[in-house]
Amino acid sequence: MKKVLIIGCGYLGSHLANYYCLQGWAVKIAGRKSIHVNQLHVDVEFYEIDIKDANQLNNLVEKDDVVICATGSINATNVFEDVTGDINDFYISFINLLNECANKKVSKFVFLSSAGTVYGDNLSPARETDCLNPVNIYGLQKVYFENLIKIKQYESKQLPYLILRVSNPYGGFQNPRKNQGIIPVLISRAIRKEEFIFWGDVNSVRDFIYIDDFLEATYLTVEAQVDEVINIASGISTSIKQVIEIVQNEVGIDIQIIYKKSNNRIVLNNRLDNSKLKELIGYTPATTLSQGISTIVSNY
């Protein structure tokens, strides 16, 4: 039986664990105990650990595992003053993890990077070969971790890797009370008839991918590719203003939105090219944004 160890039991990690379990894999997932643990399939083994603790994490890594790093690590709103703490808490533990995976000879190390931040602003769809230009600390960390993985494999020849630059997944089980992901939060506010505070520019552009498409694309890519960097994205650019309009149309309620300017630098234009995903895997995400939002609303 194939084995996968998923690090991080949050939104993406928990969905991946269930998906792999349904494909017949032996699945272990490690991280903090959260609301997502309650959503895990009965056959998924959950280990409550501090992922910053190298000893706890190393004990779970086994030879021939596919290891998927699905933890968000630092907060997406972190600023320069947070870097020292981030290095102590997350950078060092990530380096230890790479060493352990190489020493144990895992079959593949999969890193979920952030297509929404590593490219910075781009008016044309970003390809994997484009120069990276993160504009915040979160994106900078993802770029640094990507390069650590590549260098470790180059030097050791014992860390087959796959770097997946994921856009903005939505759908499935999300906790709107955490204010994580604009789509579930908007839907929740609309249905509850609550005001929504939006920090940023409604004309900013994003790429959104439905959770089912993300899971299938990730699974197929992990099965077929190695030592590659691939965008996992819908390839469709949508403004926040358009997202708000789609949600309001699906729910049938106008959302009271309070607009505020963000103090943090944000990416205004994030457009992604997913042609490499199509070329290597033969997969094209099938769910339109309207279809995905409609599904969430109908299941609410």
Examine the domain organization and report whether 68 and 180 are in the same domain. Answer: no
Q: Residue 250's CB: how many other CB atoms inside 10 A?
A: 18
Q: pTM here? A: 0.95
Kindly state whether residues 88 and 129 are assigned to the same domain. yes
Q: Is 46 helix (H, G, I), strand (E, B) or coil?
A: strand
Residue at 275 is within a domain: no
Helix axes 137-156, 92-104, angle to 10 degrees: 30
- Determine, yes or no, domain membership for 276: no
| Domain identity same for 139 and 39 | yes
pLDDT at 131: 95
Q: Is residue 96 part of a domain?
A: yes
The answer to whether residues 181 and 226 belong to one domain is no
Q: Residue 202 belongs to what domain range? A: 172-207+236-270+287-299
pLDDT, residue 59, reads 93
Q: Is 197 found in the same domain as 83? A: no
> Quick check: is 282 in a domain?
no
| Beta-carbon count within 10 A of 86 CB | 18
- The count of structural domains within the chain is 2
Residues 202 and 226 in one domain: no
Residue 224 main-chain phi, psi, to 5 deg: -105, -20
Q: What's the CATH number where 212 sits?
A: 3.40.50.720
Shared domain for 294 and 224, answered yes or no, is no
CATH number of domain containing 256? 3.90.25.10
* Residue pLDDT tens, the chain, 300 long: 999 999 999 999 999 999 999 999 999 999 999 899 999 999 999 999 998 888 898 999 999 999 999 987 666 677 777 778 878 888 999 999 999 999 999 999 999 999 999 999 998 999 999 999 998 889 999 999 999 999 999 999 999 999 999 999 999 998 766 667 899 999 999 898 888 888 888 899 999 999 999 999 999 999 999 999 999 999 999 999 999 999 999 999 888 888 887 777 788 899 999 999 999 999 999 999 999 999 999 988
pLDDT at 76: 65
Are 193 and 67 part of one and the same domain? no
DSSP 257-292: EEEE--SS---SB--B--HHHHHHH-------HHHH
- 142 and 99: one domain? yes
231: three-class secondary structure by DSSP: strand
Q: Which amino acid is at 37?
A: V
In this prediction, residue 74 carries a pLDDT of: 61
159 closest CA partner among 219, 98, 218? 98
104 and 185 in a single domain? The answer is no
**Same domain, yes or no: 240 and 225:** no
In a domain, 242, yes or no: yes
Distances in Å between the Cα of 86 and the Cα atoms of 53, 113, 136, 155 are 14, 17, 14, 25
Evaluated on CA atoms 232, 34, 47, 156, the torsion sign reads positive
Rounded CA gap, 191 and 300, in Å? 9
Both 212 and 247 in one domain: the answer is no
